[in-house]
Structure 1
Amino acid sequence: MRSLRPALPLPLVLLAACAGATRGAPPSPGRALVSTPDGSVGRIEVRHLDAQPRLTLVSRDGDPAPALVASVATDLGSVATTALATVVEARLLAAGFDVDARIDRSAFRVRLLVKDAARVAPFLRALSAAFAQPIVAGSPEVARAIERVQALRASPLDAPELSAIAACTGRLGLAGAEPVVDLETPAGVRELEGWRTAALHAGRTS
């Protein structure tokens, strides 16, 4: 496959970018915190930007297309992380961005292939809006979150003793008798909204 290497505009933040840019690309804004040595096969650089999440730049020769990944550390467990990831994914899809979510026990990632660099700024605005918009009962994203959480319950861990191992490895999963918040109730939606305010912000995102 032929490698595509468009130069993405990276003064915008919130995300870790995995782009097929050349090593000679100009540095991004912000202060470099750590980077791989010169001459490495792939170049990884973490940059600090004031009042924004850290930005991780990954440049590799041969990537078929550039991409953006928003990674959020929730530290809230399987149910909350699954529900929040689903809400963000649903809102971005509704905004016209073909994203997908990858969910772990206490973190999730939303990924977008960037075929057009002009879509980067609108995506970042849509991501910020997806984080900031309050969650209300009866919304389409809550309906999707209910389905995903029910799927967790449908495939429980084989034994309660595995919960500690799952917590250590980051694997999604619930023990058979583990309580699950009911997102079909007003109280459950209020709890989901509390998770949103606790986790969906710049301090927990890269």
Structure 2
Amino acid sequence: MDTAADRNGVSGSMITVFVIDDHNMLRGALCEILDRESDITVVGQAADGRAGAECAARLHPRVVILDVEIPGSDVVQNLLTLRQVSPQSRVLIVSMHQDTVLIRDLVEYGIAGYLHKSAKRETLLSAIRAAAAGGEVVVYVSWQEDKRPSEGGRETLPGQPLTDRELEVVERVASALSNRQIAQALGITEGTVKRHLRNIFRKLGAVSRLDMVKRATAAKLIAPFPPQ
């Protein structure tokens, strides 16, 4: 474990980051990359969840970068502990895993983003800045093995075709309606909307509302919507 508590007082636009990853070489390289940025400073690093939580409780970093698979640690428990000891910290997951079920679960637990370790440096930096600014959840995973070209330029997506009702839900999500607004528009309950969303996520292999819309648009299931 290595910390830099003297940096805890960084103010202004500086983004304080704490890194939790059991791979020493990768963790060190990541910290070096981040410290080269003029608006980011690494206030500490740890090799396990317990030590990371103890340091986060003292340093209160703006962003915590957390690996999923740390020996002796459960990622959900690590998230809950970090939220308890440093509630203002945004947690950004960086991992080799790209299991859609795992990612959806972590998004539900309130992570700021999820990046596959194959992400480019620019993607990582953008995600950190978005997390620090309290922006929308950022998800980057490598989906190449899920995408197989088919006739007419339409993607073959994992899962089953969407029903007419599910397409209606996707279209309203694309137009930035909330679950309550969708329920009112379609004359159904919020619980039914949530059930439809779970089914849509599963069928499209999506991990967030934005990802769902992007996938449905790319597959030509819905017409492209202008940026909201």
Q: TM tier, shorter chain?
A: under 0.3
Q: Which has the higher contact order (CA 8 A, sep 6+)?
A: 1
Choose between structure 1 and 2: higher helix proportion: 2
For the pair shown, which has the larger CA radius of gyration, 1 or 2? 2
TM-score by length of 2: 0.26
